[in-house]
Structure 1
Amino acid sequence: MENRLDTDALDAALEAVHRAGMPGLFAEVRDGEQVWRGAAGVADVTTGRPVTAGMRHRVGSITKTFTAAAVLRQVEAGLIGLDTPVSRYLPELVPGARGDAVTVRMLLNHTSGLAEYLPYAYPSLKAFPALAETGPESLEELRFTRFDPVELIGMGVAAPAVGVPGGTPGVYSNTNYLLLGQLLEKVTGLSAERCVARDVIGPAGLRDTELAVGAHIDGLHSCLYESWFGMIDPPRDHSVHDMSWVGPSASLVSTVSDLNRFHALLSAGEIVGPSSLAEMRRTVPVVSQEGRTIDYGLGLHPMETAGPGQETYWGHGGTVWGGGALAMARADGGRQWCVAVNLQRWNELDASGRPRPHAVDAALEAFHRLAMYG
């Protein structure tokens, strides 16, 4: 069998990210039956405990792909209409004419015009482009706060709109996916966590994955170091942090192996049907939380390779306080890769509030390229 995975190069690329300043990271790349797993650095900077490729990890907004898949499963069952107004299901959460104008699809692809609630829930934090005015105080003050998703949604709905319903470019907002969690609860009678477990995680056979809104990560895991653009020095471990602040938007705990399995099955039409997968891959322009305009579908976004053949990968990235991950699968499902890191907001800010380039950025990009086609 042809060896399509250069394991030595992948090991070296992962180690380069660690040397560039990442405390620890781990990854898996699959190409057909071939699998490479690697890890570099430490899970705990105090004890020197190493990271391992099998660790469970908070994967942030990769959760959105799981929540979107659960919604599409209800669409397939006839319980939800993609282009049905939200007012049909949740009139009390998005009231009046606005609820009549915002559809389920608009929540999924961030074209609802509903603002992000995060700066209101964590008062010392500011969203792009106001990062220069920010501070990390809220992270510690609210570490064990149990948020009510309805209250968080209310913050986003009450905030000034960031666009008109259906208008493009859309604006990425966690408010949309908290609403989708409430929608799942309304039509299934289950919490979003139980619905995603029943309809997505269970059928995919993901043994180390759960939608967990508590403060602790069960099982072997790394510390998660938050730097908040150099304002927390040294970076502080936030692996213990109540995740109700994001719920069905970004609270998933998983492994790199489980995420690759999930994306292989999703690409094969085994999580949702082929027509639903096609809907997930229909993109619109959306302004990300970093201020960049990206193509975004229904809980998925594409990544084009710069290598031979200009292949397209589909997946999602995610960050939480201290941790992050990126999981991608080639459009034909033949290759998947996932990388998880245990430091976030490592870039310092320039005078305008924009993150300065850092050696970790270039090293991670080199690993991404190698994972896709190296």
Structure 2
Amino acid sequence: MYTAERQISQPYLQHVSGPLYEQWYLLHHRIVRVVTNRSSLAREVRSFLYYAELLAEHTYEQATQLPIAIPEALLWQAGQRLHRPVALTCYLFVPEAGKKFPPEPFEGRPEDALWEEISGIEGPLRARWKRGTLRFREYMPYPGVLSRIYSVLDTADLHATILLEDLSECTAWFIMRFVFYMALGAMFAYDGYEVVHAGAIAYEGNGMLLVGSPGSGKSTLVLSCLQEGMQLLADDVLFLAKDDAIVKMYAFPEDIGVRRGARELLGGCEFMQSLSCDEREKRFVDVQRYFRRQVSVSAPVRLLLFVHEERRKAEFLAEPITAVQAVTWLMQEYISHQRAQMEEMAEVFNLFMDTAEQAPAFALWLTPDARENAQQVRALLTRFYS
């Protein structure tokens, strides 16, 4: 049975009035299903998932009309590209105004779930807690950015519900990047993909994984490579998975965050001229506007490249490192701490070992010339895979 989702496990669906907007995507060998009761949110999701294949869109007047099974026509469209007969489902609902939030039957934030900062943004706070297979998040209102937001992810049935108290107070970039993106990424992580904090570029079908902590120059190198005609897989977060015995990178090509150093090195580029100030800690280059034709959805890992803010030279240097050292550094950058149980860590370690055995690894010393860095990286890949 190709199941769309056990809708009986979606406790709020019967309380939502229509119309409901449904979208079906094929992304990374999975079907992704999005259901919302606001057409504006459907448009934002379509824009955010521009690199995925949109299989179908439907509008229903009542929740009872939503299909339980994945429609057969979609299965024919996906064909052998679909590796798992489950739809990763995300509901984006705006509850009735003036009612308790979160509405029944959702549980409120427990007292021991403390507010914490959100990585990559100043101001907004969130709280996280879990119960059984459920993972909860609540976001505190922040003027000009968001109203209260509540989300719950079922890690067993692979569906998530996101509730927005007041859509008019929520900015689209926050909803997509920090709420919807996190829920969708978590579902992929619980369905066989490993989430890693890294950038990635591709050239002529071969991928390079760029690993480095914030401030290391990773995003600047990604942008420089795009200027030299290479393809984007990711700037900050991506997925790793084995496909036909080959470790591949699967992209989430969100906008590219830049810090002051990048603005100084790439200030003459057109894409840097349009950066505007907002509430975010970093400024973001609009990937769809400037690099949409250069976005790649997946590529095998052919090189592992490690950058560090202290590794700078007048001349570019790529120093070979051992597979053991590469795995050690990869584990240090591993971000799926919420799932870091012993048996899961063993799986991660094995995946990283396979990656390091498959792809030569190098520690990079970057120069002040961003274009030179990109050309040298391309030459390095070409040397191994010409």
Higher RCO structure, 1 or 2 (CA under 8 Å, sep 6+):
1
- TM-score for the superposition, normalised by structure 2: 0.26
- TM-score for the superposition, normalised by structure 1: 0.27
Could you say which structure has the higher strand fraction? 2
Larger Rg: 2
